[in-house]
Amino acid sequence: MQEADRIKAQGIDEIWCVSVNDAMVMAAWGKDLKAIGRVRMLGDGSAEFTRALGVELDLIARGMGVRSQRYSMRVDDGVVKAFNLEAPGKFEVSSAEKMLAQL
């Protein structure tokens, strides 16, 4: 949330947060993070979008179902310009700071 204004100041129209959750969970998460009006919180409940990107993470054996790997992506007019996929268990390349450096 801290970098949302800086990202938008670089000419980014919208920031989306996509997660394999339902819309109600995403709305509650957005409210808790005070993201309403700054970040569009989108639920990918069936993981269709996640699978289409090829970033699904099968955690069924751990009782968590299909989840999504962590990533950030910049899309300009429907064209992916940057795609930063994290290694499992890491948070190094998908941060807002990394995206700011790529703008």
Cα–Cα distance measured from residue 24 to residue 46, given in angstroms and rounded to the nearest whole number: 14
Percent of the chain whose predicted confidence (pLDDT) is above 70: 100
pTM given for the model: 0.88
pLDDT tens, position by position, 44-82: 999 999 999 999 999 999 998 999 999 999 999 999 999
CATH topology for 4-97 is: Glutaredoxin (3.40.30)
Residues in the chain: 103
Query: Cα-flanking dihedrals φ and ψ of residue 42, to 5°?
Result: -115, 130
Choose among 5, 75, 83: nearest CA to 37: 5
Q: Are strands 40-43 and 16-19 parallel, antiparallel or unpaired?
A: parallel
Any residues with CB less than 8 A from the CB of 18 and at least 6 apart, and which? 42, 43, 44, 49, 50, 68
